[in-house]
């Protein structure tokens, strides 16, 4: 049983805001920081209970109106999930925060939530990007070293390993400026990238918008702004023509690349999450083809590579990946769905168009790779197959397998471009995006729209999908779907067609159907 007085005492310090209904949604509780304390406190409790099937419970405790009702819910949950309080394995909860002024108070709320559960310890890991904190939890759960220094060392060592494995004949850039300029969204990622950069001394990286001194987090900067508006972030412009640029988001879990065409004002060539996914897929597929030679196939080992996208992936990317012979799967929006699906493969690559994504390697495939690389190194040393096995192992250490991480993503993109000898333009030419348009519609009740088939089909209200189909049929290469957002009080409309004008009209006409 939960210790009553401890919990009632601490929860009375975090009074629930009036008139707000909190929901975990696509990815986390989102509200103005000033009303989030009681939620973060309760999420602290939840983390301490280390629950597995926790999402409905998260909503319930975030909204529990009084300390007594909160205690009752927690006790029911502890009983249902049979959470032991035997003190044998104390729960350790890692906490981190970003650079925003609200961070300190919210971290304190979470700490009090954690410590209101007897036997749970909170460890403050300091100022971190979101993916660094996830990386630390994963490392700790595997019994590995999990400090920030360990994170930087693992990323930089595996990056250097991949650099050393670049085929010599390819190790030349096609005449482009080799510099990378990164927009840090005025968040925590810019400073962390600079630390990483110092450890690498191979890459020429300049970071702009790297702290709140330069501007407000995600305001006119950052991956979300760049991807949705398709314009250069603050501090970037025509002076950057012919330079490879990238944009992180405020907490550094999203990454997009872009280039500024010469004489452009703010317009950019966007290289989005779908194209990052495609680059990773091409590279991994190449390594697997070196490995899956006769003898490996005879040994019955063929790695299963799975690609996971959402309905927001540009249709041209899906066609491109399928034409490579890859298996493409779709899930609803939100990394919680993509990640779960990717874990079903030997290698699962998932990305949302907006730049959230990563690569997962199964334990059994990593074990096989380790054995195989040892066997290969004792045979003909330096064979393509051996290098391919070593490259895949290095990728598994470089990429953050806990969650999409813009810092490890940048390093992997950079080393693959060097490996291929590709400029950003060559990369962007893998396929041409279909023109698309995303709109938001404010409605009285967004939950009235219910979807199925990875959000591609509306099942409620009746008749809406048929009306959408009638609109789509009017367009060449038309595709359109609607779904309620899980983070904002809107219904999103997404449309694609063969021209920008057609994508715009399709989106607008479907938005009218939703309204």
Task: Please report, in range form, the residues annotated as the binding site for substrate.
Answer: 352-354, 483-487, 492
Parallel/antiparallel/unpaired status of strands 357-361 and 347-351: antiparallel
Tokens of 251: 């907490």
Q: How many CB atoms lie within 10 A of CB 186?
A: 28
Parallel/antiparallel/unpaired status of strands 91-97 and 120-127: parallel
Q: What span, in angstroms and rounded, lies between the C-alpha atoms of 377 and 113?
A: 51
Helix axes 148-164, 189-200, angle to 10 degrees: 50
Q: 122 vs 491, which CB is nearer to ligand NG1?
A: 491
DSSP string covering 228-293:
HH-BPPTT-SGGGTTSEEEEE-TTS--EEEEEPPTT-SSB-EEE-HHHHHHHHHHHHHHHHHHHSS
Could you tell me the smallest distance in angstroms from the CB atom of residue 260 to ligand NG1?
23
Torsion angle of the four alpha carbons 338, 390, 422, 353, in this order, in degrees rounded to the nearest 10:
0
Write the burial class of residue 467 (CB in 10 Å: 0-12 exposed, 13-18 middle, 19+ buried): middle
Do residues 339 and 131 make contact, with C-beta atoms less than 8 angstroms apart?
no
Q: What span, in angstroms and rounded, lies between the C-alpha atoms of 58 and 184?
A: 31
Residue ranges of the binding site: 249, 251, 253, 352-354, 483-487, 492
In sequence order, what are the residues at sequence separation of 6 or more whose Cβ sits closer than 8 angstroms to the Cβ of residue 307? Answer: 277, 281, 321, 326, 327, 328, 329, 348, 349, 350
Could you tell me the smallest distance in angstroms from the CB atom of residue 486 to ligand NG1?
3
Calculate the CA 24 to chain-centre distance. Answer: 17
Residue ranges of the binding site for Mg(2+): 249, 251, 253
Write the burial class of residue 379 (CB in 10 Å: 0-12 exposed, 13-18 middle, 19+ buried): exposed
Q: 220 vs 486, which CB is nearer to ligand NG1?
A: 486
Do residues 45 and 74 make contact, with C-beta atoms less than 8 angstroms apart?
yes
Q: 197 vs 492, which CB is nearer to ligand NG1?
A: 492
Q: 150 vs 488, which CB is nearer to ligand NG1?
A: 488
C-alpha distance from residue 61 to each of 70, 205, 419 (Å) = 6, 44, 49
Could you tell me the smallest distance in angstroms from the CB atom of residue 333 to ligand NG1?
5
Parallel/antiparallel/unpaired status of strands 255-259 and 305-309: unpaired
Buried/exposed code over 24-40 (b: 16+ C-beta within 10 A; e: otherwise):
bbbeebeeeeeebbbbb
Do residues 281 and 326 make contact, with C-beta atoms less than 8 angstroms apart?
yes
Could you tell me the smallest distance in angstroms from the CB atom of residue 26 to ligand NG1?
3
Could you tell me the smallest distance in angstroms from the CB atom of residue 174 to ligand NG1?
33
Q: 148 vs 251, which CB is nearer to ligand NG1?
A: 251
Tokens of 349: 């690559």
Task: Provide the 8-state DSSP code for 170.
Answer: G
Binding site residues, ligand NG1, CB under 6 A: 26-27, 312, 333, 352, 354, 356, 485-488, 492
Q: 27 vs 105, which CB is nearer to ligand NG1?
A: 27
Could you tell me the smallest distance in angstroms from the CB atom of residue 30 to ligand NG1?
8
Do residues 284 and 358 make contact, with C-beta atoms less than 8 angstroms apart?
no
Could you tell me the smallest distance in angstroms from the CB atom of residue 37 to ligand NG1?
21
Q: What span, in angstroms and rounded, lies between the C-alpha atoms of 361 and 346?
A: 6
């Amino acid at each position: 049983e939960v210790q009553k007085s401890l919990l009632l005492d601490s929860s009375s310090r975090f009074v629930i805001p009036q008139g707000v209904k909190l929901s975990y949604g696509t990815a986390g509780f989102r509200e103005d920081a000033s009303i989030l304390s009681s939620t973060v406190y309760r999420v602290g409790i939840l983390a301490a209970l280390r629950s597995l099937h926790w999402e409905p419970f998260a909503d319930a405790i975030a909204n529990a109106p009084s300390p007594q009702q909160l205690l009752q819910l927690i006790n029911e949950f502890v009983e249902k999930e049979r959470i032991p309080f035997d003190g044998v394995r104390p729960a350790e909860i890692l906490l981190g925060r970003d650079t925003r002024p609200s961070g300190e108070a919210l971290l304190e709320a979470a700490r009090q939530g954690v410590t209101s559960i007897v036997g749970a310890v909170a460890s403050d890991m300091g100022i971190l990007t979101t993916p660094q904190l996830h990386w630390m939890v994963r490392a700790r759960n595997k019994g590995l070293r999990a400090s920030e220094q360990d994170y930087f060392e693992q990323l930089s060592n595996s990056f250097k390993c991949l650099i050393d494995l670049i085929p010599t004949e390819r190790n030349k850039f096609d005449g482009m400026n080799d510099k990378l300029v990164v927009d840090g969204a005025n968040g925590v990622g810019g400073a962390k990238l600079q630390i990483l950069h110092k450890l690498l001394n191979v890459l020429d990286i300049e970071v702009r918008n790297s702290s709140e001194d330069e501007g407000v987090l995600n305001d006119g900067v950052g991956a979300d702004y760049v991807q949705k508006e398709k314009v250069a972030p603050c501090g970037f412009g025509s002076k950057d023509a012919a330079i490879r640029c990238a944009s992180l988001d405020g907490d550094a879990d999203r990454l997009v690349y872009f280039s500024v065409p010469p004489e452009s004002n703010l317009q950019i060539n966007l290289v989005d999450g779908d194209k990052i996914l495609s680059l990773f897929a091409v590279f991994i597929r190449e390594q697997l083809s070196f490995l899956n030679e006769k003898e490996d196939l005879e040994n019955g080992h063929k790695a299963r590579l799975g690609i996971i996208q959402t309905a927001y992936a540009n249709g041209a990317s899906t066609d491109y990946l399928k034409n490579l012979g890859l298996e493409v799967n779709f899930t609803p929006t939100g990394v919680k769905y993509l990640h779960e699906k990717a874990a079903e493969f030997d290698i699962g690559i998932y990305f949302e168009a907006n730049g959230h994504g990563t690569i997962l390697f199964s334990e059994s495939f990593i074990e096989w790779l380790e054995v195989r690389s040892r066997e290969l190194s004792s045979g003909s040393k330096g064979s393509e197959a051996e290098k391919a096995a070593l490259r895949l192992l290095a990728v598994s250490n470089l990429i953050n397998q806990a969650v999409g991480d813009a810092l490890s993503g940048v390093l992997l993109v950079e080393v693959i471009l060097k490996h291929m000898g590709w400029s950003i333009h060559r990369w962007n030419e893998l396929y041409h995006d279909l023109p698309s348009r995303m709109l938001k519609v404010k409605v009285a009740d967004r939950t009235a729209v219910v979807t199925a088939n990875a959000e591609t089909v509306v099942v409620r209200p009746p008749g809406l999908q048929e009306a959408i189909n009638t609109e789509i049929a009017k367009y060449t290469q038309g595709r359109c779907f609607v779904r309620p957002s899980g983070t904002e009080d809107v219904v999103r409309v997404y449309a694609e067609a063969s021209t920008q004008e057609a994508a715009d009209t399709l989106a607008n006409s479907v938005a009218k159907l939703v309204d």
